[in-house]
Amino acid sequence: MNGSCVSRALWARTVLWIVLVAWVNAVAVAWAGEPATLEPGADGVQRATITLDSYSYSPDRLIVQAGKPVELTLTSVTTITPHNFIIKELAVEQDVGAGKTVTVRFTPIQPGVYLFYCDKKLLFLPGHREKGMEGRLEVR
């Protein structure tokens, strides 16, 4: 009888852990979201708005077409902290002051995956990129 109670308790604990792990994975997948696929407008320009928050970009994954201009409206929703938007391989670098909106335009030629990030930091503290302010631009 005692062994039966132990095995039921062990079984219940195992099921609880399985459910917990499944839930955490589901939340992680939902949090990651889908990439934003930019389609050229009538003028041929691929446009998107990116929100810059404390240590994140939203959306943080973009898919664009090679050889077509890209125009990104960058809006910082922070009230004190400035940010920037850098794609080193494409020579894109744009400062975005706290609470400001700016536009950056470029034309990616080579297909590939390019990281964009904020390299701002305060002395002796981890930089914004180290805190997760990074995204991906996929050029197809």
- Per-residue pLDDT reduced to its tens digit, 84-126: 999 999 999 999 999 999 999 999 999 999 999 999 988 888 9
The CATH class given to the 36-139 domain equals: mainly beta
Q: Name the nearest CA neighbour of 75 among 105, 114, 104, 46.
A: 104
Answer whether residue 83 shows pLDDT above 90: yes
pLDDT band with cut points at 50, 70 and 90 for residue 16: low
Residue 22: the pLDDT is 47
**C-alpha dist (Å) from residue 128 to 67, 112, 140:** 30, 24, 28
Domain ranges of the chain: 1-32, 36-139
Q: Name the nearest CA neighbour of 93 among 114, 111, 122, 65.
A: 114
Q: Bigger pLDDT: 14 or 87?
A: 87
- Per-residue pLDDT reduced to its tens digit, 20-77: 544 444 444 444 568 999 999 999 999 999 999 989 999 999 999 999 999 999 999 9
Residue 124: the pLDDT is 83
SS3 readout for 94-127: EEECCCCEEEEEECCCCCEEEEEECCCCCCCCCC
Strand partners, 87: 92
